[in-house]
Amino acid sequence: MSNRFFFGGSDSEDSDEDNLPYPKPLARSAFLTPEFDPHTYLSTLRNRHQTLEDLRTDLRSRSHEISKELLDLVNENYEDFLSLGNSLRGGDEKVEEVRLGLLGFKRDVEGLKNIVDERRKEVETLVKERKEIRRQMQVGLALSNIGQGLRELEQSLMMTSNGSHTDDPEKDNDRGLSDSGEESDESHQGGMSISRLGRYARQYLLVQRMMKRVGSDHPFVIKQGARMAKMKNMILLDLGNALKQTSSQDTTYLMKLLAVYRDLGEPREASKVLRQRRAVTSS
């Protein structure tokens, strides 16, 4: 009898086993990335057709291979390691030389820094002195302008050094005449022109403003206080004389005189003169 039993399929079984999705060896490059993380790496193996025990075996095998390679590397370069140790001998002396050199460099830098600081302080001092000199020059110029303004006002008021009117009849007569012909239509009944009185007031106020800029506590300004008071009294005296001579019907000239009083800050003095004039008129 022929053998009818056929235990076939051995070739097909081998073929099926060859077609199974065997896992590829673990890539070595995956372990070399700087951001390698074991948990992240294991999570990428979830679709790997391999049992956990086989995976452990592969990882142990990979670890043994790496340890062996490291040992071989050390053995191959052992002589180099020994020579490296010998070459490092005497390094302390070299380090000490470098340290001393750095200390010397540090001292030099600190010395230069001190020199720069001294120069900076000198420059700051010179700048302050320059500012102070400039300020004093400005104050001196202001004082010179004040002195010139006082002299010009005295000349305008025709005052002597003691604060009284000059006795020159030509100058006295000139005070009642027109100033370059500009006030011939502004004078009243031989009185002083309103433009000249206004100019006196403006000159006085200009000097007063310059004094305020310098400072009321400056010795020169304090010394000129009596001088300023005399000139202001003289202006008020001229204004009073002009106001007493002004007719009540001449309202234009009267209002201009009152405006000069207001500019000088003496409205009460104007009221006082008007009351005196009414008292004289009524008597």
What does the buried/exposed string (b/e) look like for 89-106 if buried means 16 or more CB atoms within 10 Å of the residue's CB? Answer: eeeeeeeeeeeeeeeeee
Tell me how far apart the 2 most distant CA atoms of the chain are, in Å.
183
pLDDT given for residue 50 in this prediction: 72
Q: Write the DSSP symbol of residue 49.
A: -
168 phi/psi in degrees, rounded to 5: -75, 115
pLDDT given for residue 123 in this prediction: 94
Give tens-digit pLDDT for 52-62.
787 788 888 87
Tell me which residue has tokens 């200390």. Answer: 103
> Do residues 26 and 41 make contact, with C-beta atoms less than 8 angstroms apart?
no
**Cα gap 29→190, rounded to integer Å:** 120
pTM of the model: 0.49
**Cα gap 111→113, rounded to integer Å:** 5
List all residues 6 or more positions away from 194 whose beta carbon is below 8 Å from its beta carbon: 183, 186, 187, 242, 253, 256, 257, 260
> Do residues 260 and 197 make contact, with C-beta atoms less than 8 angstroms apart?
yes
E-state strands within the chain: none
**Cα gap 33→249, rounded to integer Å:** 111
pLDDT given for residue 91 in this prediction: 67
165 phi/psi in degrees, rounded to 5: -70, 150
Q: Identify the burial level of 146 via C-beta atoms within 10 angstroms of its C-beta, where 0-12 means exposed, 13-18 middle and 19 or more buried.
A: buried
Question: Cβ–Cβ contacts within 10 Å for residue 188, how many?
Answer: 19
pLDDT given for residue 172 in this prediction: 42
pLDDT given for residue 158 in this prediction: 74
> Do residues 254 and 191 make contact, with C-beta atoms less than 8 angstroms apart?
no
- Under-70 pLDDT residues of the chain: 1-22, 81-82, 84-91, 159-192, 281-283
